[in-house]
C-alpha cells in the first residue's frame, strides 16, 4: 500500500510550499515506508510514499510517459497491466511497475481509461501539455482517497484525511467509482454496473459459474490474479467461511504453480483473545489445509491501549469499525515484523451475498437485494476502510478477492431468491457460496467449517473484547456527559458511552466539521443499514453493530436482551427461525 498527495493550482510555489508538501506527505509514510518521491510542475505538486510490492528495484513514483509530459502518482495494484501493455506496443516503458501503464494508457486513450483498469487504485494524473488533471478511485473504494479545496483555489487529493485536513477549507471522501476531471469541471461516475440501479436480477443460480468466477475462469480468477507480487505474502485466516475459501483457493494455485517464488507453503495469520472462536477455527482450517500458520494473542488491555492510535490511523468514529480495526491493527504489526508486505483478506462477501445474521429477517427477495446493494455502496466507509487503513498503518497491503469487479457482477446477477436464508430448505446465510464450494470429490474445506455460522470479526476475536470496550467507555463517560451529547456533538450525535468515547478521540485528531461529516451515522443492528432495522420490531430496542445483537439468530446472542425482547409484541424472539447449527461457531471475514 502506498500513500499519495497531490496539490494542483496553488498560488504559492515557493520553496516553503514544497517543504510543506513534503511535510504533509510524510504523514502518509506509514503507508509507504520504502521510498518517497515528489514531482513539481509550476503550481502543481504530486507526492508519493511507496510500499514496494511489484518491481521493488525500479518502480519508484511518480511515474511518467516517455517524454515525462504526463505524470501520475498511484496507490494500488493494476492486475491486468500485462494485458494492457499489449495494447501499447508503440510505447516504451521505463519500469516493471504495474502502475506505469496508467500514464501510457492516458496518452493513448485520454480520460476514458478508468474502466479498462482491473484492480484496486486511487491515482492523480497531471497532463503538463495543457495543465489538465484527473483523479480516480476504484469501483468499490478498496483504496482510500480524499479530495479537498484550499482558499487559494487549489484542489487537493490525499490517501488519508490527515494529509490535507489542516490545509483545506473543505474536504470530503472521494466517492468510489468516480473520476474528477479538471477539463469537465468536477466528479462523474465511471463505474456503472447493472446492479447499481438496485433492480432485482433474475439470472438462475449456477454454483459452478460462481465458483469459477472466484477461482478458475481466466477472465475472472478473483483470488489468483491477486497473488501478483514480488514480495512475501500471506492470507488473513479467521477460520470463517470467507477467509478459509480465500486460503484454500490460493493454496491450490500455489501447489499447481511451477514458479512459486515464495515456496508452496502458504503463510496464514490469525488474532484473538486467549481461547477465542477465531483462534480455534483458524488453527483448525490451517491444519486441514497444511498452511504455515501464525497465531497472535492480545489482551483486552492491549486493545484499549491502542484505541487512540487506531482512530488516528483509520480516521473514523464508527463503533463497529473501531471494534474490528483494533485487533486487525495489532495483527498487522506482527505480520510486518515477519517480513510480509501483502495479505489476502475476505472482506466483501457478506455484503454481496447477504451474509450478516440480520439478513435472516429479510422479508422478501426485493428488500434482500436492495440491502446488499446499499451495503456494497457503503463498503468504502466501513470494511474497506478498516481493511486498508488497519494494515497500511504498518506498511502492509490488504487485497480483497471478493470485491473483484467480475466476481461482483456474477454474484450480483443471481436471482436473490437463491440468497435468501431459508432454514426449512437447509439454506443458511451465504448458502450459494457454501454450496458452490461443496465439492465431495475434492473438498475445499471440511463440512462443518464450510457451513459454520457467520461471526463478525470484532466478535470472533473473543466476545469479551466488545464487553471490555464497553466497560472501559463506561468508566470514562458519565451519564451526564451522555445526556448532553446532543449539545456537545450536534452532528451525528453519539447514542452510547462507547460511541461518545470514540468521538472525543476522533475530534482531538480531526476537529473540523468536514472531518466528522466523512463518517456515516444512523441506527444499525448487527452491521445493518438503517433501513434494515425496520425488518424486526425488537431490533430498535437493541441497536448494536455486534452480530450478537441479532437476537434469536446468533446462538451466542446477548442473553439479557433476548429476555427483554421476548416481551416485545407478538414478533417475539421465540418465533424467529433457528438455523440448527452447532453451538461451537466461528467464522468472520
Catalytic residue positions, numbered: 2
Residue 284 has φ and ψ, to the nearest 5°, of -65, -45
Cell of 499: 460511541
Strand partners, 126: 71, 133
- Which among 169, 144, 134 has a CA at the least distance from the CA of 4? 144
Peptide bond preceding 259 in cis form (omega within 30 of 0): no
In the DSSP assignment, the letter for residue 76 is: E
Residue 430 phi/psi, 5° resolution? 60, 35
CA-based max dimension of the chain: 73
**Alpha-carbon distance 90 to 298, whole Å?**
54
Beta-carbon neighbour count of residue 112 at 10 Å?
Answer: 11
**Burial letters 238-260, b for 16+ CB under 10 A, else e:** bbbbbbbbbbbbbbbbbeeeeee
DSSP label of 165? T
Angle between helix 319-337 and 300-314 (nearest 10): 100
Q: Strand, helix or coil at 29?
A: coil
Q: Distance between CA 2 and CA 15 in Å, rounded?
A: 25
- Between CA 191 and CA 408 the distance in angstroms is 12
Between CA 346 and CA 249 the distance in angstroms is 12
- Give dist(CA 372, CA 274) in Å, integer: 34
Give residue for cell 459459474: 209
Query: What is the C-alpha separation between 452 and 434, in angstroms, rounded?
Result: 10
CA–CA gap between residue 178 and residue 186 (Å, rounded): 10
Measure the CA–CA gap between 376 and 354, rounded to whole angstroms.
Answer: 10
Q: How far apart are CA 50 and CA 350, in angstroms?
A: 31
Q: Is 40 strand, coil or helix? A: strand
Query: Pairing between strand 132-137 and 178-181?
Result: antiparallel
Amino acid at each position: 500500500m502506498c500513500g499519495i498527495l497531490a496539490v494542483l493550482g496553488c498560488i504559492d510555489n515557493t520553496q516553503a510550499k514544497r517543504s510543506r508538501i513534503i511535510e504533509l506527505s510524510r504523514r502518509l509514510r506509514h503507508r509507504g515506508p520504502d521510498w518517497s518521491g515528489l514531482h513539481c510542475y509550476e503550481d502543481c505538486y504530486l507526492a508519493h510514499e511507496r510500499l514496494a510490492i511489484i518491481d521493488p528495484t525500479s518502480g519508484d513514483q511518480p511515474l511518467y510517459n516517455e517524454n515525462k509530459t504526463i505524470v501520475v502518482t498511484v496507490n494500488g495494484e493494476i492486475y491486468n497491466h500485462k494485458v494492457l501493455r499489449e495494447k501499447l506496443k508503440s510505447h516504451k516503458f521505463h519500469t516493471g511497475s504495474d502502475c506505469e501503464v496508467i500514464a501510457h494508457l492516458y496518452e493513448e486513450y485520454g480520460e476514458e481509461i478508468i474502466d479498462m483498469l482491473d484492480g484496486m487504485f486511487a491515482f492523480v494524473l497531471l497532463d503538463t501539455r495543457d495543465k489538465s488533471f484527473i483523479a480516480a478511485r476504484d469501483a468499490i473504494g478498496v483504496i482510500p482517497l480524499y479530495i479537498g479545496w484550499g482558499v487559494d483555489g487549489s484542489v487537493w487529493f490525499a490517501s488519508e484525511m490527515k494529509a490535507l485536513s489542516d490545509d483545506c477549507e473543505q474536504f470530503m471522501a472521494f466517492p468510489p467509482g468516480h473520476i474528477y476531471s479538471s477539463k469537465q469541471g468536477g466528479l462523474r461516475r465511471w463505474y456503472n454496473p447493472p446492479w447499481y440501479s438496485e433492480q432485482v436480477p433474475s439470472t438462475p443460480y449456477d454454483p459452478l459459474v460462481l465458483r469459477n468466477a472466484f477461482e478458475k475462469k481466466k477472465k475472472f480468477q478473483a483470488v489468483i490474479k491477486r497473488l501478483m507480487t514480488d514480495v512475501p505474502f500471506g492470507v488473513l485466516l479467521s477460520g470463517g467461511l470467507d477467509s478459509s475459501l480465500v486460503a484454500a483457493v490460493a493454496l491450490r494455485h500455489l501447489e499447481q504453480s511451477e514458479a512459486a517464488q515464495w515456496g508452496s507453503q502458504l503463510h496464514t495469520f490469525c488474532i484473538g483473545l486467549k481461547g477465542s472462536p477465531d483462534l480455534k477455527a483458524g488453527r483448525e482450517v490451517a491444519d486441514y489445509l497444511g498452511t504455515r500458520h501464525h497465531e497472535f494473542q492480545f489482551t483486552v488491555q492491549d486493545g484499549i491501549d491502542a484505541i487512540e492510535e487506531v482512530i488516528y490511523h483509520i480516521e473514523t468514529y464508527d463503533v463497529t469499525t473501531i471494534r474490528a480495526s483494533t485487533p486487525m491493527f495489532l495483527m498487522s504489526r506482527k505480520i510486518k515484523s515477519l517480513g510480509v508486505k501483502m495479505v489476502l483478506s475476505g472482506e466483501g462477501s457478506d455484503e454481496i451475498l447477504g451474509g450478516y445474521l440480520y439478513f435472516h429477517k429479510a422479508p422478501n427477495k426485493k428488500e434482500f437485494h436492495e440491502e446488499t446493494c446499499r451495503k456494497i455502496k457503503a463498503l468504502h466507509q466501513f470494511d474497506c476502510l478498516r481493511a486498508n487503513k488497519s494494515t497500511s498503518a504498518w506498511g502492509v497491503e490488504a487485497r480483497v478477492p471478493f470485491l473483484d469487479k467480475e466476481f461482483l457482477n456474477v454474484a450480483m446477477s443471481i436471482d436473490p431468491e437463491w440468497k435468501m436464508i431459508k432454514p426449512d430448505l437447509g439454506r443458511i446465510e451465504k448458502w450459494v457460496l457454501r454450496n458452490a464450494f461443496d465439492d465431495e470429490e475434492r473438498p475445499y474445506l471440511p463440512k462443518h467449517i464450510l457451513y459454520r455460522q457467520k461471526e463478525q470479526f470484532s466478535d470472533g476475536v473473543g466476545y469479551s473484547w466488545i464487553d471490555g470496550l464497553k466497560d472501559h467507555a463506561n468508566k470514562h463517560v458519565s451519564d451526564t456527559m451522555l445526556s448532553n451529547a446532543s449539545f456537545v456533538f450536534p452532528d451525528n450525535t453519539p447514542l452510547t458511552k462507547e460511541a461518545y468515547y470514540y468521538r472525543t478521540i476522533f475530534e482531538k485528531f480531526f476537529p473540523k466539521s468536514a472531518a466528522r461529516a466523512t463518517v456515516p451515522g444512523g441506527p444499525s443492528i448487527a452491521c445493518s443499514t438503517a433501513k434494515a432495522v425496520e425488518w424486526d420490531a425488537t431490533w430498535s430496542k437493541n441497536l448494536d453493530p455486534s452480530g450478537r445483537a441479532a437476537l434469536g439468530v446468533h446462538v451466542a446472542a446477548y442473553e439479557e436482551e433476548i429476555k427483554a425482547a421476548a416481551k416485545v409484541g407478538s414478533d417475539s424472539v421465540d418465533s424467529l427461525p433457528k438455523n440448527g447449527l452447532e453451538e461451537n461457531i466461528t467464522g468472520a471475514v
